[in-house]
Each structure stands twice: as structure tokens, then as C-alpha cells.
Amino acid sequence: MIRFSLQPHENNEVGRPWYDTLKGIAFALTSLAELKRLVSERHDAGYNRGERLNQFYALNGRYWLDTCGNCGSVSGIPKDIPHADIPLVLSQEDFFKFLNEHIAEENRSSICTTMDGGNLPASELSCPQCGQGWSIVNCHDVVVYHTTEVFPLADFVGMTLGEVKLLYNMKSDAIYWMQPDILIRHDRFIDNSPKYPNTEKDWEKGIVVNECGWVSEKDGINDDYVVQEGDEGFFNIRKYFHGECNRNHLAEEEERKFREIFEKAGFQVVKMTSMPNQYCSCEKCAPWFDVETVFGTIRIGWRKRVINIDWSGLNLTEAAHEVTNGQDGIHVGGWDKAEDYLSCIHKHLSHLSPAS
């Protein structure tokens, strides 16, 4: 995060290229494609040609364009200041003047910039949740997830890796790309012979050539490689969700997963009620749930990297207190451990009760 500096910066547009003027930037904000071109042109100018650029706040204060060619997402503007009230493009000096006139000094410290390139989605992509696309109207309302996944390539046997990449590039729900240093996996590539057969170094002992069967461009795998039966591919995936779609997606996915582990643990789920995450309010932290069972209510939800389980809403038997050590809650490391702990509680609850 980079906080705003309230130091003014001289804005000189005389003789400047289109991508460094108020008029040029205003034109770029007529479409998402033009905005992405603007960001690319400024980055190229700053990083490849060494141009010193003017600073601007664009799209009603949602993006910061800095002197080096970076684009950042602006957050923290108080909700009682509608973005529509902020001019479409402002120089840095005029933006800070607007802040001084409309926002109390004590509230300005919450305004900050994330140097994320603006997280601009491609126009040809769509939100994975609702299937709707992106435009200059909603490009700022975006939540981005970068994940990796291994996909079986059974449907592409006989095709070249270049053809596989092209087909994945045509998908509209996300950006998929393969990195040169980890491409294809197959058991036939596994080599458990010592990588350092004559080493005297302890840390090199026991290391094998290729334990997992992954190969890369250094192993001769390129776009001409022909996919074989049993091959798997390693993909980087970047998905772009609308803000509301992201919240719906998180709620649906978490409710499904929590319901699943409760049922696997033996509980009969009567009702699940969602609530805001009780630990973190960021856009990527899923809601928590009150899970109503025949024994009472258990509150559960992710607390960053652990799952919080709160059973203070249960009427625990003496036997159940033995497994919980008299506590009202616990943090466990992941889905499997949460299921194990819930199973243990259910076992003790149901042992002395006809309910199940």
C-alpha cells in the first residue's frame, strides 16, 4: 500500500504526448480498451523510454497514474462522497484540492493506493459468477483471484501443446497461462535416481532427479510437444469477479463446503445463516455461518488460514466436555481437521442423546 502524499506536484501539459494530458486521458476513459491502452502506453513511456510523466487521478478518483508509468487502484474514499461527484480526470494538485474541500482531514488518512496496475480485466472476459462482461462502467468494481491448478489433458491427446494453449486462451471466464518452468506432468517422467550421486553435502543426499514427474522447457517441452495419454498441465489462472458477484460466490461456496463437512461429521444441518466475517472485512474473506443442528448452533468460519469453530451455542454433555476440554471454541488448520474435530464432538453428543 502507498498512502497519498499531500505534497503538490506541478502539472505541465505543454508539448506532452496524448497519454500525459487531461484531454488524452479523458478520451481514454470512453472505453475499457482505450483505458488499457492508456495504462500500457504510460508504462512503456516510463519504464522503457524513461519519460517523467505527470500525475493524474482518473475515472472519478478510482485510479492513480504516477510519474513512472504505474497505475494504482485508489480505495478508502468515504462512502458519503459519491465517485460521480469527483471529476472524471484530475491532476494531482486538483485532486488533493478536491479532497481538502470535501473530506475532513481526519478521514483522508484512510485513502490509499494499491500499486496493482489497476487490476483491469480484459474486455473479452466475463465474470465467472454471472457471465456478464466488463466495460468502462464496471471495470473498477473488480475482485481478482490468482490461483494455480493442474488439469488432466485427456481431451487434447494428439494435439500440440501450442494448440492446447490457444484453446485455453479462448476461454472467457478467466485468463489461463502456462509457465515455462513447469508445464507437463506424467508418471513416465518420474526419475527417482539420485540427483547428486557422489555428494558429501547432507542437504543434497536423498534428493532425486524428478520425484513428481514434472517437465519444462529446459527438458525440451515446447509448443510442438504432442500431448500423450495421462498427461496433466499446470495452469496459472486469473479470474475477475464483480464485487457483488464475488460476495455471492464466496457465500455459496463456503456454505456448500461447510455443509459438506458438517454432514460428513454426522450432523444433521437444520439451517445455515451467514454473517460478515468476524475476523476480517476484506473482500476476499468469506462470511461466517451459524449452523443450526439438532444439538444446537455452532458458529464456524475462516479466520485467515485457520477455521474458527465456536460451539458456545451447544448444550454440551459431560462427555462432550471431555473432548473440548471445557472450551467454547477452537482454531483448526483446514477442512480435514475441522471435519475431524466436528466428528469428535458429534460422536460425544450423540452417545448420550437419541438425536443424531
Q: Measured in whole angstroms, how far is the alpha carbon of residue 94 from the centre of its chain?
A: 33
Rounded distance, CA 146 to CA 89, Å? 30
328 lies in the same domain as 279: yes
pLDDT of residue 352: 58
pLDDT of residue 349: 85
103 lies in the same domain as 15: yes
Residue for cell digits 468469506?
286
C-alpha cell at 26: 479523458
pLDDT of residue 317: 56
Q: CB under 8 Å to 232, separation ≥6 — which residues?
A: 150, 151, 152, 153, 184, 185, 186
The helix (run of H) or strand (run of E) holding residue 139 is: none
pLDDT of residue 351: 73
Domain boundaries, position 273:
265-351
The answer to the question of residue 188 being in a domain is yes
235 lies in the same domain as 305: no
**Blockwise average pLDDT, block size 10, the chain, 356 residues:** 42 83 97 97 97 96 97 91 95 94 83 91 95 96 96 98 98 97 97 93 93 97 98 98 96 96 96 95 93 94 94 69 68 95 89 55
Query: Please, is 283 exposed, middle or buried when counting C-beta atoms within 10 Å of its C-beta (0-12, 13-18, 19+)?
Result: middle
The answer to the question of residue 248 being in a domain is no
175 lies in the same domain as 79: no
83 lies in the same domain as 176: no
* Nearest Cα to Cα of residue 301 among 269, 276, 326: 276
88 lies in the same domain as 192: no
C-alpha cell at 326: 471445557
14 lies in the same domain as 79: yes
Please report the beta strands in 171-328, taking only residues with DSSP state E, as ranges in sequence order: 175-177, 184-185, 191-194, 208-210, 214-215, 232-242, 269-275, 288-293, 296-303, 306-314
Total domains in the chain come to 3
Counting every residue written for the chain, the total comes to: 356
184 residue type, one letter: I
271 lies in the same domain as 332: yes
pLDDT of residue 12: 65
We report the CATH number of the domain holding residue 194 as: 3.30.70
Q: CB under 8 Å to 194, separation ≥6 — which residues?
A: 206, 207, 208, 209
42 lies in the same domain as 149: no
Hey, is 302 helix, strand or coil? strand
Q: Domain boundary at 118, 136, 161, which?
A: 118
- pTM: predicted TM-score of the whole model, two decimal places: 0.82
Rounded distance, CA 259 to CA 251, Å? 12
113 lies in the same domain as 9: yes
pLDDT of residue 356: 45
Phi, psi of 269 (to 5 degrees): -85, 120
* Nearest Cα to Cα of residue 353 among 269, 294, 266: 294
Rounded distance, CA 30 to CA 66, Å? 20
229 lies in the same domain as 272: no
pLDDT of residue 254: 96
